[in-house]
Amino acid sequence: MAFELPPLPYDYAALEPHIDEATMKLHHDKHHQTYVTNLNGAVEKHPDLGKKTPEELLKDLDSVPEDVRTVVRNNGGGHVNHTMFWQIMKPSGGGEPTGNIASQITTDFGSFDDFKKTFNETTAKQFGAGWGWLVWKGGKLTILTTPNQDSPLSQGLYPILGNDVWEHAYYLKYQNKRIDYLAAWWNTVNWEEVNKRFDHAQKS
Ligand code: MN
């Protein structure tokens, strides 16, 4: 297999009470696995695709053969987005941001509370399935959303952090209350990892 499901970097229950064990198990073992399996299906038809990283595929979807382009967009996106998602969370995470991202948030949004408010409001409005993102664009932090599994990489933007607002990410615990999930999610954020991604975003 060209691509593999990365193991969850902590226990399924490690993000309780903010994200429940059952959701994490389904989300990682079933949903993320399905994206990887479907992406590998596209590589079976076009083995050259397996020589690239999933990120490289998403950055240049036009170079992907047309018969599998949508499969790669959706499932390559699903694979890359979820791999990031597990990494930018951690047990006993959250709290105030640290490092360079903390000062940049203050510069671009006024305060961490203002940033969270704008991020949550913007992401809550994403109609149907999708993601809320923080990216580095034109020398400043920018919040945007994408539908489905579309990655900011396909717009030439490196995701610094992103929150999954597909119902599979929260419905077992939060049902239709996406806004409650969005608020709770900040208690899981791994700011060290987000700082690494911010550093990469500024260099790329
Ligand atoms: Mn998901």
How far away, in angstroms, is 44 Cα from ligand 1 center? 24
Contact 144, 152 (CB under 8 A): yes
| Residues around the ion ligand 1 (C-beta < 5 A) | 164, 166, 169
Q: Do 49 and 108 lie in a common domain?
A: no
How far away, in angstroms, is 148 Cα from ligand 1 center? 9
Closest C-alpha to 141, from 126, 127, 161, 164:
161
* Last residue within a domain, chosen from 56, 87, 118: 87
Q: How far apart are CA 45 and CA 144, in angstroms?
A: 33
Burial of 83 (0-12, 13-18, 19+ CB in 10 A): middle
Residue 6 lies in a domain: no
Burial of 49 (0-12, 13-18, 19+ CB in 10 A): buried
Q: Which domain holds residue 110?
A: 99-203
Q: Do 107 and 80 lie in a common domain?
A: no
Q: pTM for this structure?
A: 0.97
| First vs last C-alpha separation in the chain | 29
Which residues partner with 68 through β-bridges? none
Give the strand pairing for 140-147 and 130-137.
antiparallel
How far away, in angstroms, is 53 Cα from ligand 1 center? 20
How far away, in angstroms, is 190 Cα from ligand 1 center? 18
Residue 93 lies in a domain: no
Q: Do 76 and 109 lie in a common domain?
A: no
How far away, in angstroms, is 17 Cα from ligand 1 center? 18
Q: Do 135 and 198 lie in a common domain?
A: yes
How far away, in angstroms, is 31 Cα from ligand 1 center? 7
How far away, in angstroms, is 107 Cα from ligand 1 center? 31
H helices present in 16-170, as ranges: 21-25, 33-45, 54-59, 66-87, 99-109, 112-124
Strands of the sheet containing 159-164, edge to edge, are 140-147, 130-137, 159-164
Residue 128 lies in a domain: yes
Residue 204 pLDDT > 90, yes or no? no
How far away, in angstroms, is 169 Cα from ligand 1 center? 5
Q: Do 134 and 188 lie in a common domain?
A: yes
Residue 49 pLDDT > 90, yes or no? yes
Residue 168 pLDDT > 90, yes or no? yes
Q: Do 81 and 126 lie in a common domain?
A: no
* Last residue within a domain, chosen from 37, 56, 87: 87
How far away, in angstroms, is 51 Cα from ligand 1 center? 25
Q: Do 82 and 132 lie in a common domain?
A: no
Query: Domain total for the chain?
Result: 2
Q: Do 123 and 174 lie in a common domain?
A: yes
How far away, in angstroms, is 167 Cα from ligand 1 center? 8
Q: Is the peptide bond before 7 cis (omega within 30 degrees of 0)?
A: no
Q: Do 116 and 189 lie in a common domain?
A: yes
Percent of the chain with pLDDT strictly greater than 70: 100
Residue 182 lies in a domain: yes
How far away, in angstroms, is 35 Cα from ligand 1 center? 10
Residue 122 pLDDT > 90, yes or no? yes
Q: How far apart are CA 19 and CA 189, in angstroms?
A: 12
Residue 3 lies in a domain: no
* Last residue within a domain, chosen from 44, 65, 87: 87
How far away, in angstroms, is 166 Cα from ligand 1 center? 6
How far away, in angstroms, is 66 Cα from ligand 1 center? 25
The encoded tokens of residue 45 equal 């038809």
How many CB atoms within 10 Å of residue 55? 15
Q: Do 127 and 154 lie in a common domain?
A: yes
Mean pLDDT for the stretch of residues 39-68: 97
Residue 12 pLDDT > 90, yes or no? yes
